[in-house]
Structure 1
């Protein structure tokens, strides 16, 4: 893949992965809008892995607390980090099951611009409603197993391109009364096992393919996505500590309307 294509894909992924605007939809739209050849799911996974590294670094305190919780659990002690791990595992199970079924039976059937357009608008409206009526009285420390499971079930909807994994989990958390910054924080922590699992499968596919050029492209894309994602995370977290999700909703409405115009007009 030409370097320019890789740069565009990596920037698109890095910027949009953790914003509630659907990175998978944007990755599908890049070849549609530019006329470039579709990069395929393997490169999609590669740039996702780059964003995973950005999450691990930005939220290193949470990651360290979870690792510390594992060590304390081995010694029979309980800790907040241990509780966080339990919640992430529970929230991840529905996505693993749904991802396996879709990978086996659906393939690329959902990579449709029409689906992206309607999902972008529909779930954007849902985010707006949740942000307006949701209270801001809960933080991650108040989470329980039931809440983690509900957020995990919401995450399954993200397999529909245009939904946004971060967007739908933030929407669900806002409906449940969680503060904006904490909804984003837990949503990004939820991405760790999901992206790590997809990255492992993608790496195995690359090894089986034995394509050196494709592997090089994947590594370059992952590196560029890491840099752009780290910047995007920092800016979004700063924004959500003092403002609402409304700008993201407006963007979704404009993008969805533009896509519907391209399709039907």
Structure 2
């Protein structure tokens, strides 16, 4: 990798991981459209570590309360909104874990990494996000969430393993459809990203451990730092503006990107 590729891919990962526009699509496209060499497993691990550090740093107080109250609930100290949310996040993660392992063992995850798939999912799920934002009642808060609603969002999260779908996009779409506010939908999506990114990073690390790929620690550190800082800024700005801007800018972007991608299908 040269430094231009490093900077571009690290910023793409950081800026798109938590926006409803699909980070996986944006990481695949430069290699396919600009004929860049594949960034490799080690770099993928590094940028995932960067974005994971960013979301955990931003939600550090929430994570502390969730873990504390969840542990207390296990010792019979009673249920709290934080312990219930911890159960919601944990259980809603399971469908994506099972589906992800299934795709990996069958090889379908690699088969779907194409411009045609990305173009289709970008258009379809971009339109669904717009419909959900327009029709959703936006009255429910995060504390109103039931386990059934959390599991439904978790089931929808499985679709994010298809490149171009966007994990944050599909989970926010599901939450908005159920009547949650934009901020509640975004916050649950971000909390749900923590175990998912951890799991993805672990799988990549295991793959890397069995790979002869050489490791450039300077490149990895730079990628992790850039992706982490850009992700931290992205989360802060997104939560600050989402109630005023809504999802329309992201819907328009996705539809425009999808149309452009159609011209690159061979």
TM-score tier (shorter): over 0.9
Deviations 1:147-191 (A, max 9, x none): 011001100011111110000000000000000011010001101
Corresponding residue of 1:44:
44
State the 1:61 CA deviation: 1.9
* Aligned residue runs from structure 1 range 33-182, under 5 A: 33-77=33-77, 78-105=79-106, 106-182=108-184
In the alignment, the residues of structure 1 paired with residue 125 and residue 39 of structure 2 have an alpha-carbon distance, to the nearest angstrom, of: 26
- Alignment of 1:24 onto 2:10: no
After superposition, the CA RMSD in angstroms is 1.6
Deviation of residue 41 (structure 1)?
4.9
> For structure 2, which runs of at least 5 residues remain unmatched after alignment?
none
- The runs of 5 or more residues in structure 1 that have no matched partner are none
Task: Name whichever of 26-35 and 125-134 sits farther off.
Answer: 26-35
Deviation at 1:212, TM superposition (A): 4.6
Tell me, yes or no, if the aligned pair for 2:50 and 2:225 is still in contact at 8 Å. yes
**Residue 201 of structure 1: how far off its partner (Å):** 1.9
- Show the counterpart of 1:209: 211
1:183 corresponds in structure 2 to 185
Match of residue 7 from structure 1 = 7
Deviations 1:79-118 (A, max 9, x none): 2221111001111010000000001102411100011011
TM-score by length of 2: 0.94
CA contact (8 A) 1:133 1:175 kept: yes
2:138/2:181 contact within 8 Å kept: yes
**Residues in 1 aligned to 2:168 and 2:208: alpha-carbon distance in whole angstroms:** 27
Number of paired residues? 264
Task: Determine helix, strand or coil for the equivalent of 1:213.
Answer: coil
> How far apart are residue 42 of structure 1 and its match?
4.8
What is the alpha-carbon distance in structure 1 between the residues aligned to residue 174 and residue 201 of structure 2?
26
Distance 2:135 2:261 in 1: 28
Q: Is the 8 A contact 1:27 1:44 kept in 2?
A: no
Query: What's the offset of the Cα at 1:38?
Result: 2.0
